[in-house]
Amino acid sequence: MIHLGVVRGLDSDDAKRHDLNLRGTQRILDHCLRYKVRQLIVLSTAYVYGALPDNPQFMREEQPLAGARQFPEVRDFVAVDSLCSSFMYQYPKLRISVLRPVPVLGTAVSNLASRMMLASRTLVPLGFNPTQQYLHEDDLTESLRLTLEKRLRGIYNVEGPGELPLRVAIRESGGRAVPVPDFVLSRLSCSLLGVPAGAIDFMRYPCTVDGSRFAKNADFQPAFDLRDIFQDARRARRN
């Protein structure tokens, strides 16, 4: 089973989304045990680590999940991730894999990263330009396929073909970064960016991961480089 049913709309009702995601995942885990499912793949996100000023440059899977500290909207991702990690060790006969991919871009995705990339003008905090990582949507699909094929068990970061500064990413996707004083951006983020105020930390501080464990165990190599990713981002903008 590949669990893709987590509600990822950060603008939805927090309490309802948290309840649906956590209870829904608990029910899936219970059914897997009841019907003797052999393998469960859960799609999480690198956002569970949080964007903090003291983050190491490339976080490994052992890094504490601090995403809900400054960004309450991802607390259900942290809860789902932690729940599956707990089941992994309680029920070793159920082969559980938790994937934590970096932000995904492409022609058919709608998420926090794509909202920033698709805006004609993206407000960014003045004085900040953190390193970002991106993954093409087709490479995300391939990572799921490899996890299933290789029968992996454990927690894995999934990174893309490289990293670059946020403002460069916005420019390469065809947009324009507009620096705004930090206190102004925090107040205007919801209305002008269409993202929760807590998401602004991901425009201030890095949240980059080390995906070498997955690359080695799954024999994974991104097929799409950064140029391909932003080319598709520009195509999505035109559409």
**CATH architecture, range 2-238:** 3-Layer(aba) Sandwich (3.40)
Q: Locate 212 and state its tokens.
A: 């070498």
Instruction: Determine how β-strand 163-165 pairs with β-strand 131-133.
Output: antiparallel
Q: What is the DSSP string of 151-189?
A: T--EEEEE--S-EEEHHHHHHHTT-EEEEE-HHHHHHHI
Q: Residue-wise pLDDT tens for the chain (239 aa)?
A: 999 988 766 556 777 887 888 999 999 999 999 999 999 999 999 999 999 999 999 999 999 999 987 777 788 889 999 999 999 999 999 999 999 999 999 998 888 788 777 777 888 999 999 999 999 999 999 999 999 999 999 999 999 999 999 999 999 998 899 999 987 877 775 656 566 777 889 999 999 999 999 999 999 999 999 999 999 988 887 77
State the residue for tokens 């195509």. 235
Q: How far apart are alpha carbons 76 and 57 in whole angstroms?
A: 25
Residue 109: φ, ψ to 5°: -110, 150
- What residues does each domain of the chain span? 2-238
- Give the bridge partners for 95, in sequence order: 39
Name the pTM for this structure.
0.93
Nearest to 192 by CA among 124, 108, 110: 124
Q: Locate 210 and state its tokens.
A: 């080390």
